[in-house]
Amino acid sequence: MTEARREKITIGAKKKTAFVCSGGGTKAGAFHLGVALALQEQGFRFLGGTINSAQAKASPGPMDISVYVGSSAGSIITSFLAAGYSLDNIFNSFLSRAPSDPKDAIPKVLSSITYPKMFKIRPELAKEQLSQLLFLRHLLSDLLRGNWGALLRLNWIKISGIFSVEGIEQYLSKEVLPSNRFEDYLADLFIVATQLNHSRKVVFGKYRYQPPPHDLFCQYDNGVTISEACAASIALPFVFAPYSIKNEKANKIYYIDGEIRDTLSTHVAVDAGADLIISSYTHQPYHFQKAIGSLTEMGLPSILVQSIYLVIEQKINNHIHNKKTHKNAIDAVYRYCKQAKVSNHHVQRICEILETELHHKQNVDAIYIHPQSDDTQMFFGEHFSLSQKKLSEVVKSGFRAAIDVLKKYDFEDRKEHDLPPIVSKIAQ
């Protein structure tokens, strides 16, 4: 059966749509933008802006994306969207230029992020280096005595991170966000971070939901600013030092990258009432290509990235498989009950019990978008590059990957309301 004749998957009318974005540096941010452009071309709209802004409307319409969940780099892109920046405005900020159409400069021209903003040297680094030198002196003494165990224990590494995320926090709070309060925005924005000195995942936003039943170590927090939440979420270990935020008791709580525990926190979108969840992530492992060869020839960095991507891919695939299994199981029970002529009241109650126990909602549809397996440029691309050419290519990769996935679906909301696509020249 050809691709053109293959039966499409129908997505019924939806009440609330969410966009979930993973981490992965500037490369991931550009990929998410490409995915967003493809979604826009398919008729989706991105709800953004403050409650009192010109974009404000009573409630999200059909095909409006009104829930954003971001972790690490994804927190930056979702914050842009929630703040009301158009996709053209975001793309032009990658190119350090203003949008060609003044209507796209809403709420204002989005300023570009730069290396000095992204990689701010920590003031504490000099003190840590002095401490490090003392430890290295002791380590050298141990090695001369033949004590190689001292090297392998790694407790001689005392630097907590070379760079600080303070620059990114200031960029967001001073240059980007019309308001730094989650509750001031039309859309529901959620930023995911990981607590360093605990097993806890923290979801920052405007609501303080109860922990989900399947993860009691997940905590919702509505007492933090957006820029602080993003800074906590992007504090990638070994690159950035942990970021501290004072809690209600004025105690410092340290946070690290939001993807340490979960790559895609889709349950957050479900908690927010979304019944269509579109997830974008960049962790696609390398698949051997003869023209490129084995990763053993590429050195340790490529092997390390492949190892991380393999772990993340398996976690995501397990999650997708479990959700499909739960859906099929509930469908099977429903069909059996109908065949056995169980009363509608009991059928409904049985299905509700299964949904509760399996932590699964039958009315929720999920779409996952990631780089194509043969897109080696995405795999080998630099994670923190600000090169305009490289970012533009990644945007196109995200656009192509999304179009390849979205063409498999028919959206009833788009047909019913005859929503015209917005074709952007950016990703062409």
Q: Which helix (H) or strand (E) holds 120?
A: strand 120-121
In 10 A of CB 113, how many CB atoms? 21
Quote the tokens at residue 278.
């579109």
pLDDT tens readout for residues 373-421: 999 999 999 999 999 999 999 999 999 999 999 999 999 888 766 655 5
pLDDT tens readout for residues 159-200: 677 789 999 999 999 999 999 999 999 999 999 999 999 999
Average pLDDT over every residue of 287-292: 94
Distance CA 281, CA 19 (A): 11
Angle at 287 between CA 91 and CA 71, to 5 degrees: 40
Distance CA 394, CA 37 (A): 12
Distance CA 253, CA 246 (A): 6
Specify the long-range contacts of residues 360-364, CB closer than 8 Å, at least 24 apart.
360/323, 360/326, 360/327, 360/330, 361/270, 361/275, 362/327, 362/330, 362/331, 363/275, 364/270, 364/274, 364/275, 364/276, 364/277
pLDDT of residue 315 exceeding 70, the answer is yes
Quote the tokens at residue 19.
């966009």
Say what the pLDDT of residue 142 is. Answer: 62
Average pLDDT over every residue of 117-144: 66
pLDDT confidence tier of residue 145, bands split at 50, 70 and 90:
confident
pLDDT confidence tier of residue 99, bands split at 50, 70 and 90:
confident
Angle at 241 between CA 295 and CA 121, to 5 degrees: 95
pLDDT tens readout for residues 61-74: 889 999 999 999 99
Query: Of 106 and 109, which is predicted with more confidence?
Result: 109
Nearest to 188 by CA among 47, 357, 380: 47
Query: Of 105 and 242, which is predicted with more confidence?
Result: 242
Say what the pLDDT of residue 17 is. Answer: 97
Distance CA 358, CA 145 (A): 57
pLDDT confidence tier of residue 106, bands split at 50, 70 and 90:
confident
List Cβ neighbours of 420 (8 Å cut-off, separation of 6 or more). 43
| DSSP assignment letter at 174 | I
Cα end-to-end distance, the chain, whole Å: 28
Fold adopted by 9-121+164-296+364-417 = Cytosolic phospholipase A2 catalytic domain (3.40.1090)
Query: Of 214 and 366, which is predicted with more confidence?
Result: 366
Say what the pLDDT of residue 135 is. Answer: 61
Query: Of 37 and 107, which is predicted with more confidence?
Result: 37
3-state DSSP of 43-76: CCEECCCECCCCCCCCCCCCCEEEEEEEECHHHH
pLDDT confidence tier of residue 79, bands split at 50, 70 and 90:
very high
Average pLDDT over every residue of 206-230: 93
Per domain, the residue ranges of the chain are: 9-121+164-296+364-417, 123-160
Residue 85's Cβ-side half-sphere holds a number of Cα atoms within 13 Å equal to 28
Strand duo 188-195 + 252-256: pairing:
antiparallel
Say what the pLDDT of residue 1 is. Answer: 46
Say what the pLDDT of residue 159 is. Answer: 64
Share of the chain above pLDDT 90, in %: 72
Measured CA distances, 377 to 25, 317, 373, 388 (Å): 15, 22, 10, 15
Whether omega for the bond prior to residue 107 falls within 30 degrees of 0, making it cis, is yes
Say what the pLDDT of residue 156 is. Answer: 44
Share of the chain above pLDDT 70, in %: 86
In 10 A of CB 248, how many CB atoms? 7
Distance CA 329, CA 323 (A): 10
Say what the pLDDT of residue 424 is. Answer: 62
Query: Of 127 and 122, which is predicted with more confidence?
Result: 122
Residue 103's Cβ-side half-sphere holds a number of Cα atoms within 13 Å equal to 1
Strand partners, 163: 121, 240
SS3 255: strand
Instruction: Give the rounded distance of the alpha carbon of 253 from its chain centre.
Output: 22
SS3 234: coil
State the chain's mean pLDDT as an integer: 89
